[in-house]
Amino acid sequence: MAHLIKLELKKFGIARNIIFTFAAILFGILFITVSLWDSMTDPKQTKDTFESTYLIIGLLMSFIFLVYSSVLTAHLVIEEYSRGTITILFSYPVNRMKLIAAKLVIIMVYTAISITVGYLCCSGYLVFVDGLFDMLAGTFQISMLRTWIPAAVTTVAVCTVLSLWPFIIGMIRKSVPAAIVTSLIVIVFRQVLISQNATNQESLLQLFLVATITFGAAFFIFKKKVPELY
């Protein structure tokens, strides 16, 4: 499996994706800056709180990297089928299920790392600019990390699991558009789900349910759709 992951990483293009991650985080920082600047300078508005801004960071990072995970799924998995290169890959002396699993592991790990780095950079930026320009209501307290860290861990875990859905739906008809659209639907669905909770985060039970359903569906697709070339 490790050997297959190494091989698939050659096609993945690590440098290209690291550049994308940092570009996306920069975009997130820019977005937060504009939002904070607007609420700070507009007398009709009150300053944003740390709590609300941190929620926005979570939303932004999960939106960007879930959509991007669908692009990676399309590129690394579905296009192998639509471009016919899967006939070459499946003619190699490798376990086909492990080959596709290796691709998904790369996508999931990339999504998890990117969202984590995104959280770290954006939250760090938040604390830094507030210290310099007092852009937010209140001041940063270390105790805030008691809620921030679990929230970030939950978001990273959920998004990592949800990054499988573009694969699940996209593989039904080996369709790239279906994979991309699925990621958008998943984001909206998640938002509807967590808005019912007081914490705006998934509970542990919800996380467990989402993971069970997702892995069950992925297993079904592995059995039924991965071996089908057309």
Partner 1 sequence: MRKELNITEGIFPMPVLMETSGLRKSYKGNTVVNDVNIHVPKGAIYGFVGPNGAGKSTVMKMILNLLRPEAGEVRLFGEKVTDQSYEIFKRVGSIIENPYFYERMTARQNLELHCDYMGFPDKERIDEVLQMTGLQNAEGKQIRHYSLGMKQRLAIARAILAKPEFLILDEPVNALDPEGIREMRNLFLRLNREDGTTIFISSHILSEVDLIADTIGIIQHGNLLAELPIEEIHKHQTEYLSLQVDDTAHAAALLEQMGITNFSVLDKEFIRIYTPDISGKILSKALIENGIGLESLGRRQDTLEDYFFQLTEGK
**Chain positions contacting partner 1, by CB under 8 A:** 7, 10-11, 83-85, 87-96, 227, 229
66/72 with CB nearer partner 1: 72
Q: In angstroms, give the least distance from the CB of 69 to partner 1.
A: 21
Q: In angstroms, give the least distance from the CB of 5 to partner 1.
A: 12
Q: In angstroms, give the least distance from the CB of 91 to partner 1.
A: 5
88/192 with CB nearer partner 1: 88
Q: In angstroms, give the least distance from the CB of 92 to partner 1.
A: 4
84/131 with CB nearer partner 1: 84
- Distance separating alpha carbons of residues 23 and 222, to the nearest angstrom: 33
Measuring CA to CA, which residue among 129, 103, 21, 104 is closest to residue 65?
21
77/152 with CB nearer partner 1: 77
- Which residues lie closer than 8 Å to 227 by C-beta, 6 or more apart? 96
- Distance separating alpha carbons of residues 182 and 143, to the nearest angstrom: 37
Measuring CA to CA, which residue among 22, 42, 7, 11 is closest to residue 135?
42
- Distance separating alpha carbons of residues 190 and 43, to the nearest angstrom: 34
